[in-house]
Amino acid sequence: MNHRVNQFTPTRKDTAVLLFLKAPRSGDVKTRLAHSIGNEAALRAYRALVERQCSRLPERERTEVHFTPIDAEVEMQQWLGTDLALYPQAEGTLGVRLMRAIEGAFARGAHNVLCIGGDCPQLQQSHFEQAAAALNTDCDVVFGPSEDGGYYLIGLSAPHPQLFENIPWSTQNTLDASLQQAAKLGLRVKRLETLYDIDELAELERAIQTGCLPAEILAQ
């Protein structure tokens, strides 16, 4: 598979931002939210969330989209354009997919790597800047905690495969287990402010009420 790659000349301070996304297919995204609002509205919410996050990415950094399923490259280009580097996600658990993508980004010359999903309506460019600054000075790993016990961002200054082993993914214990694993590995950790992800109707309504997402998402 050929991947379109944006211009990138590695230097010591370069940061790669990795977005872990699903193809925008009705019935495949925001499935928990879809139980309350239906597949089409859930798809609108997912598109709006991702597009909002993309508009807040740091322009000077390299951006990679790691997508699933593996046959969705054309869909991702049609949705997000052809200026982003596109890579299919590895097979396996979230930990395996994160590990493989992070290792690849470092192999391509990144000095730091920041990973995000498509669920956080409050994510701003300042969060990326804070994470990159910490990694360039006095820490090895940055976590952006989410209210549900996971994290909306993880940043690393080097690959640490063991950080992703034996983690209970998508649970209220994901962040705590990750912090414990980082401590076992002797990694210096920084935590960003706690934000919320959108998985349920109440969280979507919260984002709409605060102006993060348009009310048209819930239009019938």
Map out the domains of the chain as residue ranges: 15-218
Encoded amino acid at 175, one letter: L
Give the whole-angstrom CA distance, residue 163 versus residue 147: 21
Both tokens assigned to 171: 């649970």
Q: How many other C-beta atoms can be found within 10 angstroms of the C-beta atom of residue 138? A: 9
pLDDT at 83: 84
Q: Using 50, 70 and 90 to split pLDDT, how confident is the model at 48? A: very high
Contact 14, 61 (CB under 8 A): yes
pTM: 0.91
Q: Using 50, 70 and 90 to split pLDDT, how confident is the model at 61? A: confident
Backbone phi, then psi, for 154, in 5-degree steps?
-135, 135
CATH of the domain spanning 15-218: 3.90.550.10
- 119-147 mean pLDDT: 95
Give the whole-angstrom CA distance, residue 196 versus residue 85: 27
pLDDT at 101: 97
Give the whole-angstrom CA distance, residue 17 versus residue 70: 20
Please identify which residue in the block is written with the tokens 């209970």.
168
Q: Is the pLDDT of residue 139 over 80?
A: yes
pLDDT at 220: 61
Q: Is the dihedral of CA 220, 22, 142, 59 positive or negative?
A: negative
Encoded amino acid at 220, one letter: Q
- 149-154 mean pLDDT: 97
Q: Is the pLDDT of residue 4 over 50?
A: no
Q: Is the pLDDT of residue 97 over 90?
A: yes
Rg (CA), the chain: 17
Give the whole-angstrom CA distance, residue 49 versus residue 56: 11
Give the whole-angstrom CA distance, residue 150 versus residue 114: 16
- 123-151 mean pLDDT: 95
- 20-30 mean pLDDT: 97
pLDDT at 11: 39
Nearest C-alpha neighbor of 17 from the set 169, 178, 127: 127
DSSP codes joined into one string, 69-113? STT-HHHHHHHH-SSSEEEEPPSS-HHHHHHHHHHHHHHTT-SEE
Nearest C-alpha neighbor of 194 from the set 157, 143, 155, 154: 143
pLDDT at 10: 37
Q: Using 50, 70 and 90 to split pLDDT, how confident is the model at 37? A: very high
- 25-51 mean pLDDT: 96
Q: Is the pLDDT of residue 85 over 60?
A: yes
